Structure formats: C-alpha cells, structure tokens
C-alpha cells in the first residue's frame, strides 16, 4: 500500500526483527512497533498491533523464525494468541512442516508472506469482475492491506476496480468496539477511493434506502459447509443483505478454509476484555458495575452468502 507516496506492507522482516505498522495507533499516528522476540510477536498479535486473519498468520510465520531452535515451544506459544483466525494455525503448521524438512526458517516465512500477497492480488482480480461501474459497496471491519500484509481480502477487488477506473463508493462500518472501520477509511483515503464511515447499526438504514448494491467482507475461518466466522456484526449484515436482495460476498484465501470442521457451530469465538467496550481512548465510559460481554466474532450461515471470492475462482 502507498502511504504518502511510499510503498509499505503492514509489517516486514528487518535485521532479525519484525517491524509492524502499529494498528492500535492508526489513523491518528503512524508508528512502528519492533518485535525482537517470540514474546513480542505474541504480544503484537494479542494486543492487535497486527490483526486480520491472513496478517496474523504471516506474523506468526515470522514469529517461528525468531523462535528458531525452539520450534515446538514457539508454535505452542503463538497458537494461544487468538483462537478464531484459522490462518494463524495454518501458518504455524506450514512453518513447522518446512522447518522439520530442514528448510531455512526465514526462507520459508518469506515464501509464505509472498504467497499471501500473491493470493490477495489474484483474489482481487477475480472479485473485481463482480464490481460494476458506479456500485456502492458495504464492507465490515478492516479486510484491507493492514489485515493481509498487502492488498487485502475484501478491499483487494475494490482497490483493483478503482485502479481500472470504475467509479465506486464504499460504506465502511465503523465496527465497534475496536473501530477497524477507521483503518479501512485510512486505507481508502490513501488510495483515493470515495467512502463514508457509518455506525454499524446504520447499515440496515442504507440497505433499505437502496443505497448499497453489494456487500463484501473477509473471513476469519470458513467451515466445510461454507458457514464462516468474521468480525462481530457480520451475521446481521448478511441477514439484512438477504432481506434487501443485496449480493453478499466473502473474500478469503485457502488458508482461511478449515477442512477439519463440518459447520460453523464448531468455530471457537474469541471473547475479548471488558475494557474494549468500557473505555474509549483510555477514558472510562461506563461504571464498574456494568457487566460487559465482548465476543470478537460471529458466525454467518452459508445460506446468506452469494459467493466466496477465492484466489482460484468465485465459488457460488
């Protein structure tokens, strides 16, 4: 992605460290977090310095490089960071396999990351064909370059459609409580794509008023029957899209498809801490006695999905 004229990835390997654009600080401050150890990488994933399923997987691949000589222990530590994103486990398995075969860990991790990016580009090319000139597209959470190292899942087709000259308008759900919609807005601003951030609960209003032509979201884990987990609030957007006859697409790489589970009921949903809701910018907005529930993801049944945009094809 281009930031003020300079090409960036969400993170990169440099001098035996991993440099991350600190996503907790965006869109206000552009800061780099340097991970020197496996613990630093685990912290970056857990605290959401890096986030989004493919990016979490790629960060873990570099984590396996920093943990060289302690492959099993490192894999164990990294796999405990975030439970829902399948890419995390896919990447750790891949790295363990390559290291056990005697491959140089940094070569394996670099291959993994380049592959993640190539897949994003191909997915973008496939998805771009679905986007017609003048379309107004809703997306939820951030499924852009920040979430995938570069290009994005849901944002890749949008990026490419814009670059081919199609006129677009994007509605970016704010996505409480972490407000990943602001990250989407930041990426779209860099790319010059017209958009508005809307409160999550405004999406139905725009759908019913005929202002949304298509929904594209990413996924954290997709079961064999097509049920998928994605950022909390995705399920209700999918139900509303069906109710309003709006096509609803899921853009995801093969590394998000979990072939070990039959349906979405088997997906473990991450519960995050109270403070994500109870505080805004460090300021407490609710008294101590208020009990909070904070699931980070929900599961959308496959019957609501028009198609899955993969790097190989669009699966209806």
Nearest position to ligand MRU, beta carbon: 218
3-state SS, residue 298: strand
Instruction: For residue 13, give both structure tokens.
Output: 């390997």
CA atoms within 13 A on the CB side of 18: 34
Q: How far apart are CA 26 and CA 12, in angstroms?
A: 18
Instruction: Name the catalytic one among 150, 220, 227, 298.
Output: 220
Contacts of 292 (CB under 8 A, 6+ apart): 274, 277, 278, 286
Least distance in Å: CB of 143 to ligand MRU? 4
Complex with ligand MRU: residue 230 or 300, whichever CB lies closer: 230
Least distance in Å: CB of 6 to ligand MRU? 23
Q: DSSP assignment of 200-240, as one string?
A: GGGHHHHHHTT---EEEE--SEE-TTS-EEEETTHHHHHHH
Please list the helix, strand and coil fractions of the chain in percent, rounded to the nearest 5, in that order.
Answer: 40, 20, 40
Least distance in Å: CB of 162 to ligand MRU? 18
Least distance in Å: CB of 182 to ligand MRU? 12
Complex with ligand MRU: residue 53 or 99, whichever CB lies closer: 53
Catalytic status, residue 220: yes
Contacts of 29 (CB under 8 A, 6+ apart): 22
Beta strands in the chain (DSSP E): 2-3, 6-7, 11-14, 17-21, 32-35, 136-139, 169-173, 195-198, 214-217, 221-222, 228-231, 248-251, 279-280, 283-284, 297-300, 307-309, 314-315
Binding stretches for ligand MRU (CB under 6 A): 51-54, 85, 141, 143, 147-148, 153, 180, 218-220, 230-231, 296
**CB of 184 closer than 8 Å to CB of 217:** no
Q: How far apart are CA 218 and CA 231, in angstroms?
A: 9
Least distance in Å: CB of 235 to ligand MRU? 12
Q: How far apart are CA 98 and CA 109, in angstroms?
A: 9
Complex with ligand MRU: residue 176 or 231, whichever CB lies closer: 231
**CB of 10 closer than 8 Å to CB of 148:** yes
Strand partners, 17: 14
Least distance in Å: CB of 43 to ligand MRU? 15
Positions marked catalytic: 220
């Amino acid at each position: 992605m281009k930031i003020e004229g300079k090409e960036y990835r969400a993170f990169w390997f440099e001098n035996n460290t991993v440099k991350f654009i600190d996503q907790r600080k965006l869109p206000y401050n552009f800061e780099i977090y340097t991970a020197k150890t496996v613990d630093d990488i685990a912290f970056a994933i857990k605290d959401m310095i890096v986030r989004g399923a493919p990016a979490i997987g790629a960060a873990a691949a570099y984590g396996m490089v920093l943990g060289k000589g302690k492959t099993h222990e490192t894999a164990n530590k990294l796999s405990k960071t975030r439970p829902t994103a399948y890419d995390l486990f896919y990447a750790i398995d891949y790295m363990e396999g390559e290291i056990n075969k005697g491959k140089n860990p940094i070569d394996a991790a670099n291959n993994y990351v380049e592959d993640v990016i190539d897949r994003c580009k191909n997915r973008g090319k496939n998805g771009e064909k679905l986007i017609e000139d003048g379309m107004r597209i809703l997306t939820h959470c951030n499924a852009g370059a920040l979430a995938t190292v570069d290009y994005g899942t849901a944002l890749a087709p949008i990026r490419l459609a814009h670059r081919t000259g199609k006129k677009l308008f994007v509605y970016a759900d704010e996505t409480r409580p972490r407000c990943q919609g602001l990250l989407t807005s930041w990426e779209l601003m860099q790319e010059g794509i017209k958009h508005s951030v809307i409160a999550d609960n405004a999406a139905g209003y725009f759908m019913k008023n005929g202002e949304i032509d298509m929904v594209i979201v990413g996924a954290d884990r997709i079961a064999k029957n097509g049920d998928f987990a994605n950022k909390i609030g995705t399920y209700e957007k999918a139900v509303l899209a069906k109710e309003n006859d709006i096509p609803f697409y899921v853009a995801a790489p093969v590394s998000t498809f979990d072939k070990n589970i039959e349906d979405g009921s088997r997906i473990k949903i991450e519960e995050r801490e109270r403070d994500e809701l109870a505080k805004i910018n460090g300021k407490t907005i609710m008294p101590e006695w208020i009990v909070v529930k904070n699931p980070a993801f929900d599961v959308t049944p496959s019957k609501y999905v028009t198609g899955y945009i993969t790097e190989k094809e669009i699966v209806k």
